[in-house]
Structure 1
Amino acid sequence: MRAIQITEFGGPEVLNVTELPDPVAGEGQLLIDVSRAGINYADTHQAENSYLSPSTLPMVPGGEVVGTTADGRRVVALVGSGGYAEKALAPQALAWDVPDGIDDVTALSMVVQGATAWVLLRRSVHMEPGESVVVHAAAGGVGTLAVQLAKAWGAGRVIATASSKEKRELAVELGADVAIDANEPDMKSALITANGGKRVDIVLEMTGGTVTDDSLKALAPFGRLAFYGMASRKPPAPVQPANLMSHSTTIAGMWLAHVFQLPGDIMRQALGDLFALAADGNMRVINGGEYGLTEVRKAHEDMRARRTSGKLILDPSR
């Protein structure tokens, strides 16, 4: 089969098309003929071995696929690695049937990015109707869905940030009440101004660095910030517990992998909600572009340069 393989860690230049033996399913695994694979920002960290879980070489990157099993089921699945290929193995417990009417792009958008937005709002910050919600990187895969979920669940005001005029316009089109420049030099003041002069209740943050620092300073009493990524590759300043007390604020970290350690089938609940919203036309997935195997380097370059919006897709057939 054709696949992308990494034999040394680094940037987009280490992503190489190669021929590999077809994987063979073991006990508890499904072999999936991949129709599309998802391309996520986390994949850029995986390629350079800077992700939360260490990578090992050689490696086929890619953590999510949609395709067909040997018995004809159409499933979307989490594979950990191995997704950038014509065939992939997935644990049976991490594969979910795709409802009729849900296309490949929508299925892939929901399994990681949609579920991340769902868990952030439902479990990490426990959003209540009427609260203000800041969504950083609002034109990204998680951000576009988080904006829509916050609105659907009754947020009082959704404040988006994005790095270009086009991305800010997209965020507003998806339901944000206001969108501000992600490069604002004083993000704290910009967020408070965007919220009508009031501190904000909730921040969903995946940038890191000063964006995190300023967002914390903009939180209202009992405000919550959920941190789920570090796209800038710059860590925020250390947080002192006394500073949290000064405004009764909460910081939550979220990594989707930990959802599977919780009682109950959280992922099935999240995907059920998300697929229903999409099927009813109440959630729109942004197709950020489809790349063939030979174009994967460009996909990673585009993501790292902030040239993309929405969900990026890999077509392993080309």
Structure 2
Amino acid sequence: MVQGLTALHLLRESPPQGKSILINAASGGVGTLLIQLAKRAGARQVIAAAGTPGKLDLVSSLGADAGIDYSKPDWPARTRKASGDAGVDIVYDMVGGTMTAAALDALAPGGELVFGAMGRFALDTAHIEAMLAANQSLKGFALLPLLSLELLCSDLGELFQLASTSELKVVLGARFPLDRASDAHRAIEQRRSSGKVVLVP
């Protein structure tokens, strides 16, 4: 539910309609939902960054217009090429670290970087100055301040309705017994999972 709400509110805060967008970690729990919801919201082009051939196949099956392997050092240049050399209008970055600075190379002049990777902000003054010179903007994203009880009920209702009619596919990437929770955490940390990782009794 948290991943669905995150994807829903990312698109409300920075609407993708008519725009070319890049989704980092697109094969993860938030990313797989964000691809589908962005297409529904009228994104002109969805470029999905993922790290393995299998994950790239997954994002393509969910409707991404292009898949970029971010394990390759030239992935920002490949992203720009996929966007017709113009760069993307919006980057949804829930990864942070070195991925953020690299994604800036794929961002169009006047584009927007939406940053939601709490605790992993790695842009320095030079990056910010370069963004200002290109009329680009940096927008923070935090889910909790956006939620209210009323909104929570209506948003979850919307997400469950889409899932129940198969208009939104929830990707179950891995299932672990509860007593192997540490293995589940390792799978996520080592980026060996896709979609949602589930713990079961």
What amino acid does structure 1 have at the position aligned with 2:70? A
Name the SS of the counterpart of 1:265 in structure 2. helix
- Sort the Cα spacing of 1:216 and 1:268 in 2 relative to 1 into closer, same or farther, 3 A: farther
The match for 2:9 is 119
228, 231, 238: which one pairs with 2:124?
238
Residue 141 of structure 1 corresponds to: 29
Cα deviation code 1:119-164 (max 9, x no counterpart): 11111x232x220111111110000000001111111110001110
Q: CA deviation at 1:245?
A: 2.4
Partner of 2:150: 265
Aligned to 1:193: 81
* Residue equivalent to 2:97: 209
Map 1:39-54 → 2, pairs under 5 A: none
Query: Which of 157, 167, 187 does residue 282 from structure 1 map onto?
Result: 167
Unaligned residue ranges in structure 1 (runs of 5+): 1-110
User: Which residue identity lines up with residue 156 of structure 1 in the other structure?
Assistant: R
Counterpart-to-counterpart distance in 1, 2:15 and 2:139: 11
Amino acid at match of 1:272: G
Mapping of residues 16-95 of structure 1, within 5 Å: none
Q: Which residue of 1 aligns with 2:196?
A: 311
Counterpart-to-counterpart distance in 2, 1:151 and 1:251: 23
Out of 131, 134, 137, the residue aligned to residue 247 of structure 1 is 134
Identity, % of aligned pairs?
A: 38
- Does the C-alpha gap of structure 1 residues 242 and 229 become closer, same or farther in structure 2, counting only changes over 3 Å? closer
C-alpha spacing 1:265/1:251, structure 2 compared with 1 (3 Å): farther
Number of the residue aligned with 1:94: none
Rate the CA distance shift 1:269–1:251 in 2: closer, same or farther, 3 A.
Answer: farther
Indicate the residue corresponding to 1:152 in structure 2: 40
- Measure, in 2, the Cα distance between the counterparts of 1:265 and 1:252: 25
AA paired with 2:26? A
Q: Which residue in the other structure is 1:56 paired with?
A: none
Aligned residues: 200
CA distance in 1, matches of 2:125, 2:89: 18
Q: 1:196 corresponds to which letter in structure 2?
A: G
Q: Which runs of 5+ in 2 are unaligned?
A: none
How far apart in 1 are the matches of 2:92 and 2:120?
Answer: 17
Q: Which residue of 1 aligns with 2:176?
A: 291
Q: Residue type of the partner of 1:164?
A: T
Tell me which protein shows more helix as a share of its residues.
2
Q: CA deviation at 1:239?
A: 4.1
- List structure 1 runs of 4+ shifted beyond 4 angstroms: none
User: Corresponding residue for 1:45?
Assistant: none
Q: Give matches, 1:216-231, under 5 Å.
A: 216-229=104-117
Question: What amino acid maps onto 1:126 in structure 2?
Answer: P
Identify if the C-alpha distance between structure 1 residues 266 and 187 changes in structure 2 by more than 3 Å, giving closer, same or farther: farther
Report the CA distance between 1:311 and its aligned residue: 0.7
Distance of 1:282 and 1:153 partners within structure 2: 13
Question: Is the Cα–Cα contact under 8 Å of residues 15 and 41 in structure 2 kept in the other structure?
Answer: no
Matched with 1:21 is none
Q: What's the offset of the Cα at 1:223? A: 1.3
Task: Single out whichever of 141-150 and 277-286 deviates more from structure 2.
Answer: 277-286
Distance 1:258 1:219 in 2: 27
